[in-house]
Amino acid sequence: MSSPTSESVIVCSQSGPLSGKVTVPGAKNSVLKLMAATLLADGVYELRNVPDITDVDYMTDLLVALGLDIERIDRYCLRIVNSGRISPVAPFALADRIRASVNVLGPLIGRFGDVQLALPGGDDFGGRPIDMHLSGLEAMGAQFDITEDGVVGRATGRLKGADITFAFPSVGATENILMAAVVADGVTTISNAAREPEIGDLCAMLRSMGAHIDGVGTSTLVIRGVSPASMQSCVHEVVSDRVQAATYIAAVAMCGGDIDVLRAVPGHMEMLLTRYADMGMSILPIDDGLRVSCHQRLSSVDVATLPYPGIATDYKPLLVAMLATADGTGIVTENLYPGRFRYIEELQKLGADISVDGHHAVVRGREHLVGATVVAPDIRAGAALVVAGLAAQGMTEIHDVHHIDRGYDNLVGRLASLGGSINRIG
């Protein structure tokens, strides 16, 4: 793990109760794929409710290198122009910065029959293979070579519709096959497809562009390919970010208080909200989001991460932080990424009593955490450390905040507006 650097630092001290309203921005894990989808058809696109995060900037750099024109016409709106001059070669230095760079694979091989892409980067949770992306596209007629520089793919003529069954409902593989299948010749069926709300959002945008997709929201997607020339550009609003919503709820869980989380979509986070309620929180739907209250110490629960509609792995650092001050012992089981426990040593610096055994973490709740200097190892763990820092006695400094900036739109400003004692320095 890196040591603190000279970049910005987030400093927080014990806060609460929190109060007020916070508006949840658009979802990182949707917008990056929606941006990739604009490779599929020429025209002028407008994406609204785009979060102001560095992963959007990284994706912009990658897509501009491929030939798109992209401009932020206001803080939350991107105008993307695809004038048909696409070079399907994604430079290593740009593709390596984010996992979602792999999402150009489907549109490029689907529309142009040609792609060169460095193996994607992103958070380091251990191995993050793309075998299901490649084998699905191969079933449709693409051929791939893995070279020292990454993946080189080609197809002769249009890809052909195929029946594809995933061994695991991979989010990225579902998205890539979807984007290739909408312009393939014939019908593609994806069985055991991922069902995340962000995939529903991608399907909605692809339908606005002229795609034929059935089964949206289920684990069987049926895509009837259309000719690439019949696809068109569109205007689309990005779905709300359920992980950012969960973060503000976790802040109330740890600091106490009453807040409204506007634009949170309860139907996208049902299992998590049930877990939060089991821990003792009151969470009620309101007109445009959720009303969240917490006035007592939380009770511990056990949690296991699972693909949607299960409890997402991205929520887990928040849950571990909440359990660190809950009453009792909770066991958290990670079923997606074996390496996603690296932030635990940082929570231990705040006094958390956590032991890790394989893919289980045993969290024994303490009455209080105590401020310390910690390092954000990735996006979600960084946010969990911020939330824990707001609840800890004394002062907490969080370093390596560039990880948090990749996925959180003004986390510090939003928490400060709720009464959190938090600042960003530098």
Instruction: Name 98's Cβ contacts closer than 8 Å, sequence gap at least 6.
Output: 32, 55, 58, 59, 62, 120, 121, 122, 406
The reply on whether position 131 binds ligand EPU by CB under 6 A is yes
Q: Report the DSSP beta bridge partners of residue 107.
A: none
User: Which one of residues 4, 20, 129, 394 is an interface residue with ligand EPU (CB under 6 A)?
Assistant: 129
Number of residues that bind ligand EPU (CB under 6 A): 27
Query: For the chain, how long is the longest CA-to-CA vector?
Result: 64
User: Which one of residues 15, 49, 170, 176 is an interface residue with ligand EPU (CB under 6 A)?
Assistant: 170
3-state secondary structure of 292: strand
The reply on whether position 171 binds ligand EPU by CB under 6 A is yes
Shortest Cβ 313–ligand EPU spacing (Å): 5
Strands (E), 125-199: 143-147, 150-154, 163-165, 187-191
Structure tokens at 247: 């973060």
Q: Which residue has the tokens 């520089």?
A: 149
The reply on whether position 99 binds ligand EPU by CB under 6 A is yes
Q: Which of residues 258-317 bind ligand EPU (CB under 6 A)?
A: 312-314
What is the set of active-site residues? 123
Q: Report the DSSP beta bridge partners of residue 77.
A: 48, 74
The reply on whether position 172 binds ligand EPU by CB under 6 A is yes
Nearer to ligand EPU, 173 or 301 (CB): 173
187-191 and 163-165: which strand pairing? parallel
Q: Which among 413, 361, 75 is positioned nearest to 244, based on CA atoms?
A: 413
Structure tokens at 413: 């400003």
User: Which one of residues 45, 248, 315, 337 is an interface residue with ligand EPU (CB under 6 A)?
Assistant: 337
User: Which one of residues 83, 85, 93, 168 is an interface residue with ligand EPU (CB under 6 A)?
Assistant: 168
Nearer to ligand EPU, 170 or 300 (CB): 170
- Of 4-12, 27-35, 269-277, 355-363, the segment contacting ligand EPU by CB under 6 A is 27-35
The reply on whether position 53 binds ligand EPU by CB under 6 A is no
3-state secondary structure of 331: strand
- Can you give the binding site for ligand EPU, defined by CB under 6 A? 28-29, 32, 99-100, 123, 127-133, 168, 170-173, 194, 312-314, 336-337, 379-380, 407
